[in-house]
Chain A
């Protein structure tokens, strides 16, 4: 059967009327009634939707469909027993492979379930040969106990070689007021249930305008970040996947960074209080994130080690998984507890009711946002150049660490204020900075993972359950991580030279150096 075209029935005409009209014009043969449930899935940050895919489950079949201009151009399917949450829980095959690249570490969440109830007819030609399949029926949104009609449709699928007949039927359907459907069933169902596809993304999207004061822009940035923190709570509590905690922590880190860098828009005591409160929340989630990173790296770690010492690694990961369980409980207690609840509540209240003129020592609140942002960015950029240019092969690791922190601050500033500057150039700058950050990040990650593994092992030494097998595995990992760390350090100078070259410095100068024409610069 060729592709199916959906026609929407006008609300004023009953479905049976359309079927009666069809019977009058065509030789119709009734086939089996078709009734089925379809559940649609995506990740919290809409990875499938963004890539133009949809994932549907009906019965024990899962269909992964690539969509273009509202129609399915490719379908891969697989049979499952339970509802797999992560790509690696799918049976081996095309479906699993494709989902691996689309979902990465994110979990699938059920979005909506619809019920389709269709009568199936065949349209026969003068030889009593089937030329078209026609389906007439309704689609309902199923939510717990309720059933809500989404639409009534006629669907037409031509047999191969009978496209002309399909064209004629389309003309006839149009004359009855049935027009090709514009939205997919998934989109309609999402709309009715209040979803906004693509709304959540872990990337910052803060729209500022040059007319804003720094105070207004600051409130907008902080409010956006507070929303991200809130949006990720449920996923952490339900332990849906590791990225909820990650995004939650990044939003907190960005908040803390912004409190330090967007200076003098809030009274000092307020900035200080929230800075330290958020630091405390961050601290209490550190361990869980570390453990998540280990578990996410499991396959990479396995690759590091020769076959014969891998069993020790499995034992180690068993222990890590157990510790993660108890650590998760702590984080759940934190999120449900007074301290976190109060901090967020107070923070949100403060942002909502913030009236700059009531406060003292808020000298920057009335400054126009753009020149202020330019000043912050340029200053931070110069600092990064200064630290970086002093680093050579003899510099202690701690300086690279410092540079990493300052780069992160610069990155956040560029992202907070990105909407004020030309997108193409900002994208370029962020891209360059990211390369440097990746190198520094690698260096740091290997170093931290190595140290933590050693610490973890030392703790377990007192533990009766420790095993020499684990010791061998940890030894192997530590060695490998140390080698990688050294490699990253070796690559640094080349990457930094690229980052600090004249051409790039000129872009910073051009975009962010104070210019008289911008006016209002304090």
Chain B
């Protein structure tokens, strides 16, 4: 089992779109895949048309086992299951705070899923807290979507610093450019600069397209609805790169 977290300190960077499409592509190749929607906004769940059960909560999530299993739902796509988001996830930090050894809690909860799933994707809430620290420890790969702007780049560096301070493995972090508009000069310049100085950036760029924006209307992964579109192709290439990485790492 490989745990892949999609994470960004900053919101609105195309994180959820990427996690839904990447999870869809992994599953479409025949690998049992689980997407965990840990973002209390529940956008990934919304895209896949799944609502949370009423009695589930962050407490139960962290208990794991049968209660977690019972809340997993099958999506309309073969091999792809979803753990839907829950409003109570906004209290994740409070609940974690009351536990012993809270930093490794999520890792423990996810471990038994290894018998059922080849890939687990985590769509994470945007901030740096106790919950995100849990995620950093549980994940094998941390994917960070970066819009090629100065501000985005700043938050990416902040994340690297945080890893350094907390003595977390920085080698887990991988960036990719998201919502790229090539006609913008700043985008081109920043990407050129980063490509030179950062090994841990994928080659594939996810463009800013209307198709991705419309995912909220059609409530389907772009890669399923318009498999030949530019955005789908970009996600496919990105997944290729990630898969190669997991192949060499695990």
Contacts and interface: CB of A to CB of B under 8 A. Distances in A.
A129 B72 contact: no
A383 interface: no
Contacts, number: 32
A128 B74 contact: no
A130 interface: yes
Q: What size tier do the contact residues of chain A reach?
A: 10 to 19
B74 A161 contact: yes
A1 interface: yes
B49 A162 contact: no
A160 B70 CA distance: 9
B152 interface: no
Most buried by B among A128, A129, A130: A129
A378 interface: no
A162 B73 contact: yes
A1 B50 contact: no
Interface in B66-93: 70-76, 81
A435 to B, nearest CB: 42
A159 interface: yes
B49 A161 contact: no
A127 B72 CA distance: 17
A161 B71 contact: yes
Question: Chain A: interface secondary structure?
Answer: loop
A127 B51 contact: yes
A99 B76 CA distance: 35
Interface in A150-174: 159-162
Nearest to B220: A128
Given A127-B219, A128-B219, A160 B74 contact: yes
Nearest to A122: B76
Contacts of B73: 159-162
Contacts of A125: 49
Interface string B186-223: 00000000000000000000000000000000010000
B74 A162 contact: yes
A1 B78 CA distance: 9
A160 B51 contact: no
A1 B51 CA distance: 18
A130 B76 CA distance: 6
Contacts of B71: 161
Nearest to A2: B74
Most buried by B among A2, A127, A161: A161
Contacts of A162: 73-74
A370 to B, nearest CB: 58
Nearest to A160: B74
A127 B76 CA distance: 12
A32 to B, nearest CB: 13
B50 to A, nearest CB: 6
A161 B75 CA distance: 10
A122 B219 CA distance: 17
Interface in B37-55: 48-51, 53
Contacts of B50: 127, 129, 161
A160 B81 contact: yes
B49 A160 contact: no
Nearest to B49: A129
B49 A159 contact: no
Most buried by A among B48, B73, B219: B73
Given A127-B50, A128-B49, A129-B49, A160 B72 contact: yes
Nearest to B48: A129
A161 B219 CA distance: 19
A125 B48 CA distance: 12
Contacts of A159: 73-76
Interface in A10-40: none
Nearest to A129: B49
A1 B74 contact: yes
Interface in A120-154: 122, 125, 127-130
Contacts of B48: 129
Nearest to A164: B53
B165 to A, nearest CB: 40
Contacts of A129: 48-50, 76
Nearest to A163: B70
B122 to A, nearest CB: 19
Contacts of B75: 159
A2 to B, nearest CB: 8
A133 to B, nearest CB: 10
Interface in A84-139: 122, 125, 127-130
A23 to B, nearest CB: 20
Interface string A162-190: 10000000000000000000000000000
A163 to B, nearest CB: 9
A301 B219 CA distance: 65
Contacts of A1: 74
Contacts of B53: 161
A128 B50 CA distance: 10
B84 to A, nearest CB: 9
A127 B74 contact: no
A122 B50 CA distance: 16
Contacts of A160: 72-74, 81
A168 to B, nearest CB: 16
B7 to A, nearest CB: 26
A475 to B, nearest CB: 53
B23 to A, nearest CB: 15
Interface string A490-516: 000000000000000000000000000
A367 to B, nearest CB: 66
A2 B74 CA distance: 9
Contacts of B219: 127-128
Contact of B49 (A2, A122, A127): A127
A159 B49 CA distance: 13
Most buried by A among B51, B53, B76, B81: B76
Contacts of B70: 161
Contacts of A122: 76
Given A128-B49, A129-B49, A161 B76 contact: no
30 contacts: A1-B74, A2-B74, A122-B76, A125-B49, A127-B49, A127-B50, A127-B51, A127-B219, A128-B49, A128-B219, A129-B48, A129-B49, A129-B50, A129-B76, A159-B73, A159-B74, A159-B76, A160-B72, A160-B73, A160-B74, A160-B81, A161-B50, A161-B53, A161-B70, A161-B71, A161-B72, A161-B73, A161-B74, A162-B73, A162-B74
- Closest A-B pairs by Cβ, 6 of them: A161-B73, A129-B49, A159-B74, A160-B74, A127-B49, A130-B76
Interface of B: 48-51, 53, 70-76, 81, 219
Given A128-B219, A129-B76, 17 more contacts: A1-B74, A2-B74, A122-B76, A127-B51, A128-B49, A129-B48, A129-B50, A159-B73, A159-B75, A159-B76, A160-B72, A160-B73, A160-B81, A161-B53, A161-B71, A162-B73, A162-B74
